[in-house]
């Protein structure tokens, strides 16, 4: 098939949605489809395994609609795709409707927070005002593909549309395999995320003093950047964790894989906060490829990424006391850490790959319209 893939969030961005767009387009290309990626020009280009067409826009988000619609119209004329996949409904899905209506079947990928209504921010209010338009974009889509069961339920409740399927996020095992897993002094914990409040780093920090009473050698590595950094650093000092917590910022991929592998437990304690929610949690699969199990917040799509009792653990992300109790129980049983790490590895490398996700997406793209 000839697939036009729109991805407003793409390289040089490195978050989950940008990763999804790159990996899925790459897999579709490898599986024999012709893929054209359409994305905003952010000034940094690199050679990709599929062709990329850039559009220029001085504005961001919803204000990029018209430039993106113009670029889609141009791409449809020159590339003549059989189907369009939009990695976000806004601006990609709406821009597609503005550009060509339903002339070509289009599909929507839904991650989570982009469909959650909120009145706590300007962006949330703006999206709320677009609800009638959003309903039309979802109604006319040939397919709506959600990254988790939680996200599908969110689509049903927030948009009113009652048809959507689940295609879980994936991982590229070859990029995250680690040859020397769990080699750090015991115990070492790691979190990899954008430093924003809903990711729950603050609750983990508040839980650690109780954990350190039992495990005085514990080290906690925090990888990532974001606006919450200063607050988290101040919190680290307030609870006297300077000798146990390291903020490593942005690191290169090789170092990331090394630290995943050295660590004994990956933590993603995301919580639902206003519009913000974890749609899935790619880092859980990345760590699993290094045989590192995860402790996740029992919220959003994390409950799809972790199989409780098998590939990791879940905890209430709003309660630091319960997080501390869970961490103590986990770290007190190092054999179970190894067992769940192996199960997480097997699931990630056999069931949860981007190859499997792309095959499932392809089956929907090729399905005749009703």
Report domain extents, the chain.
2-170+353-365, 173-350
Question: How many angstroms separate the CA atoms of 225 and 247, rounded?
Answer: 9
Using an 8 Å Cβ cutoff, are 348 and 289 in contact? yes
Give the phi and the psi of residue 142 in degrees, each rounded to 5.
-70, -25
CA distances from 264 to 96, 122, 179, 270 (A): 45, 40, 14, 19
**Shared fold status for 2-170+353-365 and 173-350:** yes
Q: Name the token pair of 171.
A: 């991982």
- Identify the residue whose tokens are 């850039």: 54
- CATH for 2-170+353-365? 3.40.50.2000
Q: Name the token pair of 172.
A: 């590229």
**Helical H segments across 80-115, by residue range:** 94-100
**DSSP label at residue 346:** H
- Give SS3 for 107: strand
- Give SS3 for 64: helix
CA distances from 216 to 213, 243, 329 (A): 6, 10, 15
CA 98-29-260 angle, to 5 degrees, is: 105
Residue 137: the pLDDT is 96
pLDDT per residue as tens, the chain (370 positions): 999 999 999 999 988 999 999 999 999 999 999 999 999 999 999 999 999 999 998 877 778 899 999 999 999 999 999 999 999 999 999 999 999 999 999 999 999 989 886 545 556 566 666 788 999 999 999 999 999 999 999 999 999 999 999 999 999 999 998 877 667 788 999 999 999 999 999 999 999 999 999 999 999 999 999 999 999 999 999 999 999 999 999 999 999 999 999 999 999 999 999 889 999 999 999 999 999 999 999 999 999 999 999 999 999 999 999 999 999 999 999 999 999 999 999 999 999 999 999 999 999 999 877 6
Entry pTM? 0.94
Q: Which helix (H) or strand (E) covers residue 294, if one does?
A: strand 294-297
Hey, which CATH number is domain 173-350, 3.40.50.10190, 3.40.50.2000, 3.90.1150.10, 3.40.50.300? 3.40.50.2000
Q: Which helix (H) or strand (E) covers residue 6, if one does?
A: strand 2-6
Q: Tally the residues of the chain.
A: 370
Residue 14: the pLDDT is 87
| 245-249/219-223 β-pairing | parallel
Residue 177: the pLDDT is 87
Angle between helices 354-365 and 16-30 (to 10 degrees): 70
């Amino acid at each position: 098939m000839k697939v036009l893939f729109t991805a407003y969030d793409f390289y040089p961005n490195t978050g989950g949605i940008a990763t999804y767009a790159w990996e899925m387009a790459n897999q579709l290309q490898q599986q024999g489809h012709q893929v054209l990626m359409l994305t905003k020009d952010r000034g940094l280009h690199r050679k990709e395994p599929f062709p990329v067409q850039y559009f220029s826009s001085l504005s961001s988000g919803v204000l990029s609609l018209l430039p993106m619609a113009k670029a889609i119209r141009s791409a449809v004329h020159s590339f003549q795709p059989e189907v369009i996949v939009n990695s976000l409904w806004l601006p990609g899905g709406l821009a597609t409707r503005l550009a060509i209506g339903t002339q070509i079947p289009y599909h929507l990928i839904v991650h989570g927070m982009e469909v959650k209504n909120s009145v706590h921010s300007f962006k949330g209010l703006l999206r709320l005002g677009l609800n009638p338009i959003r309903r039309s974009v979802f109604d006319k889509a040939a397919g709506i593909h959600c990254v988790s069961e939680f996200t599908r339920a969110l689509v049903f409740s927030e948009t009113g549309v009652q048809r959507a399927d689940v295609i879980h996020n994936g991982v590229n095992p070859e990029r995250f395999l680690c040859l020397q897993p769990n080699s750090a002094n015991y115990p070492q914990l790691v979190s990899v995320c954008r430093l924003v409040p809903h990711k729950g780093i603050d609750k983990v920090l508040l839980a650690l003093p109780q954990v350190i009473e039992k495990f005085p050698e514990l080290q906690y590595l925090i990888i990532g950047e974001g606006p919450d950094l200063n607050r988290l650093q101040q919190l680290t000092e307030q609870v006297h964790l300077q000798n146990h917590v390291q903020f490593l910022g942005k690191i290169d991929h090789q170092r990331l894989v090394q630290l995943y592998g050295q660590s004994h437990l990956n933590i993603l304690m995301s919580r639902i906060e206003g519009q913000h929610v974890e749609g899935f949690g790619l880092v859980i699969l990345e760590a699993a490829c290094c045989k590192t199990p995860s402790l996740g917040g029992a919220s959003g799509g994390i409950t799809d990424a972790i199989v409780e009792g098998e590939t990791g653990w879940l905890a209430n992300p709003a309660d630091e006391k319960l997080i501390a109790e869970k961490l103590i129980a986990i770290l007190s049983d190092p054999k179970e850490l190894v067992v769940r790490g192996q199960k997480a590895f097997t699931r990630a490398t056999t069931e949860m790959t981007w190859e499997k996700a792309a095959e499932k997406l392809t089956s929907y793209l090729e399905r005749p319209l009703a």
